[in-house]
Amino acid sequence: MRPKILLVNPPIYDFTAYDFWLKPYGLLSVAGFLRAKANFKFFDYLNRSHPFAAKQKELESDRWGRGRFYCERIGAPPSCLEQIPRYYRRFGLPRNMFMDFLKEHGPFDFALIQTIMTYWYQGVQEVIKDVRKAWPKAKIVPGGNYVMLCPSHAQKLGADFLVQTNNLESLWSYLGLRPDLKQLTLWEAYEKLDTGVLRLSDGCPFNCTYCSVPKFFGTFKARPFERSLAELELLMKRGVKNIAFYDDALLFDAKKVLIPFLKEMLKRSINVHFHSPNGLNIRFITPPLAELMVKAGFKTFYLGFESASLQWQKQTGSKVSAPELSQAVKHLTAAGAEPTNITAYQILGHPYADIQQLEASMRFVNSLGIRGMLADFSPIPGTPDGELCRKWVDMDEPLMHNKTAFPIILLGFDEVNRLKDLQRKCNRALAPDTAEED
């Protein structure tokens, strides 16, 4: 008899949250490998296509599928975050809806829970409590970034088993099931799907001092070409128009990975909109590649820039320089990319902020006629920069990794507000009506 498995993408407890094509890709990939070997029920707290969320006018998507999550104010933030003068919220569908879902579809043999940010563990904790209350015999299994980065902390939440590595052999053994690794992501778990996710590769060849990807996912490795195309076709069959690449190094070795994929898309006359929220390495953007990306359907281009400071780039292992950003923007706009759809990420609140020259970097980005976006720094335990942050915060408490909190702790509330206001002004000077992410 097939086991009955509950899949849960938990709510988010945070100061801010916004849907940049956020999907529980890891969770649905695991479920896909077990397709036809188990019976699944899926509850995604962050599903803005859910009938409840779809009725909320303020949650409507923009033209690329991004938008706000349903949220509720929390009376007070956790004590360690009380000094942060921001409202603390719970993002996601109402809790009672999940309880009703559990009663209707249970009992379950296993409950698999996706985790992402370490400081979002309160949502995981909530799900564990609710599943335990409704179906105490269900074996609860969280996996993902939080569990891998903070295994000792995760053990305190009351789960039955933790998936602590990217090697899933221990999970298959615990479930008593053997996967079919040729199976595709379980996108059919959604009744309605507006946006989707693709990966053409895993890992990253670089070693930036603020990133944990190489530690857990290794160096760059391309995924099978035919599998990637099959995943794309599955998303299209579900009616998805906007697709985000989750690759950490999408443009690396493009001649062997991205370029053949996009050329095959054009050959098949596939028409979708592509997005790159994880940040593109601008060093690899050539005129032919830019032209191919635009022709194949790339609509938004998020570029990893971080800082124009040469000293900061050398200190952190940052991948690109200011002249390279300028050149990449020229290639993209010459290929037909809209300047207002090109955004350069810059880190706000990095521990080396004193050498970052952030304001000068922001003005440089603005001079290129593209948008800038301040990516709030979240200290990741186990990385060189994350460990450096122990002088300011308790890194053993995942809530202190919060990307809103840490820049304020490091730079001060007024300085963070000043820099964010400056970024808004720069963006609105370019395009007054396109500041939805600011």
Task: Please tell me whether residues 123 and 212 are part of one structural domain.
Answer: no
Residues 168 and 313 in one domain: no
Does a structural domain hold residue 436? no
Is residue 186 included in any domain, yes or no?
A: no
Per-residue pLDDT reduced to its tens digit, 126-151: 999 999 999 999 999 999 999 999 99
Domain shared by 255 and 141, yes or no: no
Residue 398 sits in a domain whose CATH number is 3.20.20.70
In a domain, 223, yes or no: yes
Of the listed ranges 108-117, 346-355, 386-395, the least confidently predicted one is 346-355
Other beta carbons within 10 angstroms of residue 105's beta carbon come to 15
Peptide linkage before 107 cis (omega within 30 of 0): yes
Q: Kindly write down the DSSP assignment for every residue of 48-100, as one continuous string.
A: TTSHHHHT-GGG---TTS-EEPPEEE-SS--GGGTTS-S--EEESS-HHHHHH
Q: Does 78 reside within a domain?
A: yes
**What is residue 371's three-state secondary structure?**
strand
| Structural domain count, the chain | 2
pLDDT of 296 strictly over 90 = yes
* Range in 53-67, 350-364, 385-399 the model is least confident about: 350-364
**Tens-digit pLDDT profile for residues 92-130:** 999 999 999 999 999 999 999 999 999 999 999 999 999
- In this structure, are strands 18-19 and 4-9 parallel, antiparallel, or unpaired? unpaired
Q: Average model confidence (pLDDT) for the chain? A: 94
24, pLDDT greater than 90: yes
Report yes or no on 438 lying in a domain.
no
- Same domain, yes or no, for 70 and 218? no
Statement to judge: residues 126 and 160 lie in one domain? yes
- Mode of pairing for the β-strands spanning 4-9 and 39-44: parallel
Same domain, 128 and 227: no
Q: Is residue 183 part of a domain?
A: no
Average pLDDT of span 413-438: 82
Whether the predicted pLDDT of 438 surpasses 50: no
Cα 62 from Cα 226, distance rounded (Å): 31
Residues 170 and 236 placed together within one structural domain of the fold: no
For 162-175, what is the mean pLDDT?
95
Q: What pLDDT, in 10s, does the model give residues 245-254?
A: 999 999 999 9
Domain boundary among 175, 210, 231: 175
Whether the Cβ atoms of residue 211 and residue 324 lie closer than 8 Å to each other: no
Inform me whether the pLDDT recorded for 349 exceeds 80.
yes
pLDDT tier at 60, thresholds 50, 70, 90:
very high
Residue predicted with more confidence, 425 or 308: 425
Three-point CA angle 30, 35, 41, nearest 5°: 80
153 lies in the same domain as 88 = yes
pLDDT for res 426: 94
pLDDT of residue 435: 43
**Nearest-angstrom CA–CA distance, 172 and 279:** 32
Tell me what the mean pLDDT of segment 7-29 comes to.
97
pLDDT level of residue 434 (50, 70, 90 thresholds)? low
- pLDDT band, residue 352 (cuts 50/70/90): confident
Query: Does residue 437 sit within a domain?
Result: no
Grade residue 318 by pLDDT with cuts at 50, 70 and 90.
low
Q: For residue 90, what is the domain's CATH number?
A: 3.40.50.280
The answer to whether the beta carbons of residues 355 and 324 sit under 8 Å apart is no
Q: Domain span at residue 95?
A: 4-175
DSSP string for residues in 148-171: HH-HHHHGGG--S--B-SS-THHH
Q: Say if residue 152 is in the same domain as residue 200.
A: no
| Same domain assignment for residues 78 and 215 | no
Token code pair at residue 257:
């990975």
Mean pLDDT along residues 68-81 = 94
pTM: 0.94
Q: Pull the structure tokens for residue 85.
A: 């003068």
Is 188 inside a domain boundary? no
151 and 259 assigned to the same domain: no
Same domain, yes or no: 312 and 238: yes
Q: How far is CA 68 from CA 71, 242, 364, in A?
A: 9, 16, 29
Beta-strand ranges (E) seen in 152-292 are 195-198, 201-202, 221-222, 242-245, 273-275
